[in-house]
Every structure is written in C-alpha cells, then in structure tokens.
Amino acid sequence: MGLFSKIKGEFIDIIEWLDPTNNTIVYRFERYQNEIKMGAKLTVRESQVAVFINEGQIADVFQPGMYTLTTENMPILSTLKGWKYGFNSPFKAEVYFVNTKKFLDNKWGTPNPILVRDPEFGPVRLRAFGVYEYRVEDAAKFIRDIVGTDGDFTIEKVNNQLRNIIITRFSDAVAESKIPVLDMATNYNEFSEQIGKVIIDEYKEYGLNMTKFLVSNISLPEEMQKFLDKKMGMNVLGVDNYMQFQAANAVEAAATAPGGGAAASGMGMGMGFAMAGQMMNAMNPMMNQQQMYQQPQQGGYQQQQPMAPPPMPAASTFFVAVNGQQSGPFDMNTLSTMVKNGQVTKDTLVWKQGMPAWAAAGSVQELSSLFGAVPPPMPGMPPVPPQM
C-alpha cells in the first residue's frame, strides 16, 4: 500500500448506518481510530437520528437527511473544539446512530399472581398479559440517561425495566378499579387506557414514547377457574349461595377422602335433602313461596304447617223483576230478606248469569230453600192466597 493510500485510509469521508437487525436501538459508528474528514458526507436515514459526542459531551444532533459536515452545521461541536471559522482539518468525534422506529410486539406479563380483593370471592390471585410499543423520542436524553457508552444497545437491555414499570402500574390500577373479577374481561380497553396514561409520562423520563399499550388477557389460576366452573354447574341446580357451594365442595371432598365413612355419608344425605328441596322449588312456582324443610335440628328436620286453602268461590247473585222493572243483582242474604218482606214470591221472575231466560223464583233450585215448606190447606177451608 502506497503512502498516499495509507494517508487516505486514515480519514473517514462517509458516515452512515444500515441496520441489519430488528432489535438495535443505538449503534456507535466504528471509526477504528480514524479521523473524520471535514466535509465528509453524513447520511441519516428515515427513522434514524445521528448524535455527535465530543470527549463524553453530547454535541450536535442530526435529523434524517444528507449533510456535508462543516463548521456551519456543527455549531456545538465547533464551540466545544474551539474551532475558528473556516476550520478544514480532520477531527475526532464519536457518532451514535439512534433508531427512532417503533419497536412492536413487546410482550409483558405478571411473573407472579397479583392478589386482589374481590367483592364476591374475597382474596383472588390474578395473572395478566399484554403487549406494548415504544420508540425513542429524545435521542440525546436516551443516550445520556440509559445508553451511556454502550456501542451496541438493543431492546433486550431496556425491556426488562420497561416491563417492571408496566407491572407495577397495572397492579395499582387493578386494585384501585374495584372491578369484580368476572367483569374484568369486559374492561380491557379501560385498563389499557388508564395504565397507558400513567406509563407514558414515566417513559418520557428515559427519552422514550409509549405509542401503544394493550391488556390482552386477565386470567385466574387454574384451580380458581375450576372452582368457578363448578359453581356455574351448581347454579343450574338452584344453588345460588356461595356458602352452599362451599358446603357442596366439602361434601365432595369428604366423600372422596380415605376413611370418609359414615361422616361423609351423613353429610351427603343432608346436602341431598337440601338440594332436592331446592330443585322442587325451581320446578313448582307455588312451592317457591315456602321452604319444604327448616334447618336441621337435634331431632332431625321439622315439617312446616300445610299450605293455606284456596279462597272461597264468589256467591251467586240474581236480578229480580219488580213491578215490571229489572233490579239487582242481589245476593242470597238480600233475597232472603225480600222473601220475608213479601217483595219476592215463588212466582217472581229472576235471572242470573248462565240462565237461558227469566224464570219463576220457585222453580230455581238455588232459591227454593228461601221459601220453605208451605203446609196444605185445612179440610173444608179454601187455600190461603200467597201474600204480596
């Protein structure tokens, strides 16, 4: 290699970075002790920012574009170096390329269950999972506070800290929401928005911007899920009380436990009677008004009083023809008084609903008892005409 080629190779006149990876956030341009030539070409592509650092101090920041490096477009570096106007000698500076694209599909999840207090089930352990997206918003701040002198900074080096922030804020949001466990599945959007608003401010402290945060799943431990499945099955049989459900589980455990013996059988019979009563109540609406059996006492189950009889049927009423005019209707007590006063006789026409036509009161079987038995006339005596 000639002297001219050796001297030429010591100077860098093209500065650029093509990212061959999908996870690099910051890359330090490798100089290999070479100096940057004044007037060198700097290419900053879309979704990149170039940061020049001089002796550990952040100098100029270049946004996407193509630049010819001169003292005019490097004012901060020129000040730090003490260059005079028109400086045209090679110089040394560290160049960091910062990737400003969105880093997608970063998964987060609770490493341990979160303990919350549910209004129906009491203390419950929850797990949650989701995804988040972010990008570098302030390249200089991100290098100063997070990257330091790392020349190959990837997302794996920061994601752990970002996930810890998410998990902490998510735990607080779940505890403060007081949403029942069974209703959380319908509130994923609300959780995502609420937690995202808090996280976005904390990410800005690192020079990052949270572009999206999603809660994709909130689940119960496997044993709790089985617990709820059994409860739904018991509800089909009419057991809608949580304490009854616990008692049912206790019976099952006692029946399957070694040496359950007579105790398990006794508990099973007791629960069987109670469940049978509830099933009968569900099938017969009239029986839902009372319990078939009271709580078990020392002497066994006590049966309650029988059901009350149905109401009496409505009494019959009749219309009466008095002096050619329809009057009434009158009940049996009123008609009895009218018979005694002579206002109604056996020949008086009467009618009630269901009769095909008006008929003499004496011919109506229901009214025959009102007139009583009339004795036959005495021998040799004319019959006594009925009183009007």
pLDDT tens digits for 189-217?
A: 887 888 888 888 899 999 999 999 999 88
Unique residue bearing structure tokens 């056996």: 346
Strand arrangement, sheet containing 349-351:
325-331, 317-322, 349-351, 359-360
Average pLDDT of span 346-354: 83
Backbone angles phi, psi at 119, to 5 degrees: -65, -25
**pLDDT value for 314:** 65
Average pLDDT of span 313-319: 76
Q: Is 272 left (phi over 0), alpha (psi -120 to 50) or beta?
A: alpha
In 3D space, the residue among 102, 76, 110 whose CA is nearest the CA of residue 191 turns out to be 110
Average pLDDT of span 371-384: 58
Query: H helices of 237-316, where?
Result: 242-256, 261-283
Average pLDDT of span 363-371: 80
Q: Which amino acid is at 352?
A: K
Quick: pLDDT tens for 22-53. Answer: 899 999 998 766 788 889 999 999 999 999 99
Q: Does residue 342 register a pLDDT over 90?
A: no
Tell me if the pTM is above 0.75: no
- Number of helices (H), then strands (E), belonging to the chain: the values are 10, 16
Band the pLDDT of 60: cuts 50, 70, 90.
very high
Q: Of the given ranges (51-65, 108-122, 264-278), which has the lowest mean pLDDT?
A: 264-278
**pLDDT value for 232:** 67
Vertex 242, ends 115 and 274: CA angle to 5°? 160
Q: Does residue 104 register a pLDDT over 50?
A: yes
Quick: pLDDT tens for 138-174. Answer: 999 999 999 988 989 999 999 999 999 998 888 888 8
Q: Does residue 238 register a pLDDT over 50?
A: yes
Do 101 and 24 form a contact (C-beta atoms < 8 A)? no
**pLDDT value for 307:** 67
- Return the top range by mean pLDDT from 10-19, 84-93, 238-247: 10-19
DSSP for 18-73?
Answer: ----SSEEEEEPP-TTPEEEEEEEEEE-TTEEEEEEETTEEEEEE-SEEEE--SSS
Percent of the chain whose pLDDT exceeds 70: 71
At 386, is the secondary structure helix, strand, or coil? coil
The more confidently predicted of residues 119 and 3 is 119
Average pLDDT of span 49-71: 93
**pLDDT value for 301:** 46
**pLDDT value for 373:** 53
Q: Does residue 377 register a pLDDT over 60?
A: no
Mean pLDDT of the chain: 77
At 101, is the secondary structure helix, strand, or coil? coil
Q: Distance between terminal CA atoms of the chain?
A: 156
Distance set, CA 326 to CA 163, 315, 346, 350, 352 (Å) = 94, 20, 17, 9, 12
In 3D space, the residue among 158, 160, 155, 163 whose CA is nearest the CA of residue 109 turns out to be 163
**pLDDT value for 293:** 41
**pLDDT value for 279:** 52
Band the pLDDT of 88: cuts 50, 70, 90.
confident
